[in-house]
């Protein structure tokens, strides 16, 4: 029998890492090693004997990371700051963590002949005017240097290009994936979102239930395609499985074009859904929605993405993947988790 895949997840306590580790432990016989600075989102994984957790820092524990890369089959370097407010407020912190720590991992994967499944980002397309962003055809359109928002996009693009070059010239086995606004339970802490530093869904839920106004940046006409975390994880599992090498050397958008919503539309949907949860109707009914300029909300260095919709033709055709969840279902599951304390993930059990 083929021995079980050994997967290394750097940043396992993040939104994607924690959901992915749990899925691997419940649905496969893979051996999962996870590393992070904290473990609050993976308490249920810690109970599984095929899960090995190490509390380490991506910027400090280089020796440990290098030897973990050497000991596994596949590496997912998920350590990164991925919140727009921080790109503007602390771009050097983003550079050090997102670029410097990850470029080393890429080099170790090349050195030790390990497969890397790397999180690129939908941000790389920037302000691309295409109706649906295509992995092979779309241009990557960033703003001026003084608009610090683009540092994250630029870093990820550089890493994509270095990985691509290692693949082409030195035989690195890789897959790049680009998540489009993943949402779901455990994305951020809704009890203490830092104003402007959490993703929009978390910020809006927090504000509605705490009687604070919803702030629509520049009017909220900008559009995003939201993707339920479980659909995203389904796609990632197919990539990691890599049947007949189908994902090797490929780039995949992971998103749900059917879940395209304006931020204003998301605000309206949330107010209406939250009003149906026991004890929250009053707060939802009283929610004030106000406009705020992006300069006021994020600062000078911000520029928005007016429209972000993926083409998922490649994931459909090559991986046979399709997202299944509607925005309403995704938001309901997220609200059930936060407002009713229902964790649908725990209903899954090991070894299915």
> By the criterion CB under 6 A, which residues form the site for ligand UDP?
84, 181, 199-200, 203, 215-217, 220, 222, 224, 263, 304-305
**Interacting residues of 213 by C-beta distance below 8 A, sequence separation 6+:** 207, 287, 288, 289, 290
Q: How far is the CB of 63 from ligand UDP (least distance, A)?
A: 34
- Closest distance between ligand UDP and the C-beta of residue 156, in Å? 12
Q: Which is nearer to ligand UDP, 33 or 121 (CB)?
A: 121
Closer residue to ligand UDP (CB): 101 or 203: 203
Do residues 55 and 13 touch, judged by C-beta distance below 8 A?
no
C-alpha atoms less than 13 angstroms from C-alpha of 161 in its C-beta half-sphere: 9
Residue 205 CA to residue 333 CA, distance in Å, equals 13
Nearer to ligand UDP, 264 or 342 (CB): 264
Could you tell me the smallest distance in angstroms from the CB atom of residue 53 to ligand UDP?
28
260-262 and 223-225 strand pairing: antiparallel
SS3 116: strand
Considering beta carbons, is residue 225 or 250 the nearer one to ligand UDP? 225
| Residue 54 CB-density burial (10 A; 0-12 exposed, 13-18 middle, 19+ buried) | middle
Q: How far is the CB of 116 from ligand UDP (least distance, A)?
A: 23
The H or E element spanning position 75 is strand 74-77
| Residues 6 or more apart in contact with residue 278 via CB below 8 angstroms | none
For ligand UDP, the closer CB: 95 or 112: 95
We find the least distance from the C-beta atom of residue 190 to ligand UDP, in angstroms, to be 13
Core vs surface per residue 297-332: b (16+ CB within 10 A) or e: ebeebbbbbebbbbbbebbeeebebebebebeebbe
Which CB sits closer to ligand UDP, 53 or 125?
125
Min dist. Cβ of residue 181 to ligand UDP (A): 5
């Amino acid at each position: 029998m083929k021995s079980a895949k050994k997967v290394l997840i750097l940043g396992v306590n993040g939104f994607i890492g924690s959901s992915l580790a749990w899925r691997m432990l419940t649905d496969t016989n893979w051996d999962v090693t996870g590393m992070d600075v904290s473990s609050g989102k993976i308490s249920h994984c810690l109970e599984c004997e095929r899960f090995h957790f190490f509390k380490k820092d991506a910027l400090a524990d280089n020796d440990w990371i290098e030897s973990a890369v050497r000991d596994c089959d596949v590496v997912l370097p998920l350590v990164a700051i991925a919140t727009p407010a921080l790109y503007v407020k602390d771009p050097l912190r983003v550079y050090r963590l997102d670029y410097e720590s990850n470029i080393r991992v890429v080099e170790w994967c090349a050195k030790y002949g390990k497969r890397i499944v790397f999180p690129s980002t939908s941000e790389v397309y920037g302000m691309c005017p295409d109706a649906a962003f295509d992995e092979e055809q779309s241009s990557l359109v960033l703003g001026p240097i003084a608009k610090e928002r683009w540092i994250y996009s630029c870093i990820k693009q550089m890493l994509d290009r270095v990985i691509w070059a290692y693949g082409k010239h030195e035989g690195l086995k890789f897959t790049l994936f680009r998540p489009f606004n993943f949402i779901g339970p455990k994305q951020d802490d809704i009890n203490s979102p830092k104003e402007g530093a959490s993703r929009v869904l978390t910020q809006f839920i927090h504000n509605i239930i705490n009687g604070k106004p919803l702030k629509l940046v520049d009017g909220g006409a900008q559009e995003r395609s939201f993707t339920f975390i479980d659909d995203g994880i389904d796609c990632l599992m197919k990539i990691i499985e890599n049947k007949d090498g189908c994902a090797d050397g490929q780039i995949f958008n992971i998103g749900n074009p059917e879940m395209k919503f304006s931020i204003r539309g998301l605000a309206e949907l949330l107010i209406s859904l939250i009003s149906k949860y026991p004890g929250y109707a009053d707060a939802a009914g009283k929610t004030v929605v106000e406009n705020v300029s992006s300069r006021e909300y994020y600062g000078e260095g911000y520029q928005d993405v007016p429209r972000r919709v993926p083409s998922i033709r490649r994931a459909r055709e090559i991986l046979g993947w399709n997202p299944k969840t509607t925005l309403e279902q995704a938001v309901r599951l997220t609200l059930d988790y936060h407002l009713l304390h229902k964790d649908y993930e725990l209903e899954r059990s090991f070894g299915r």
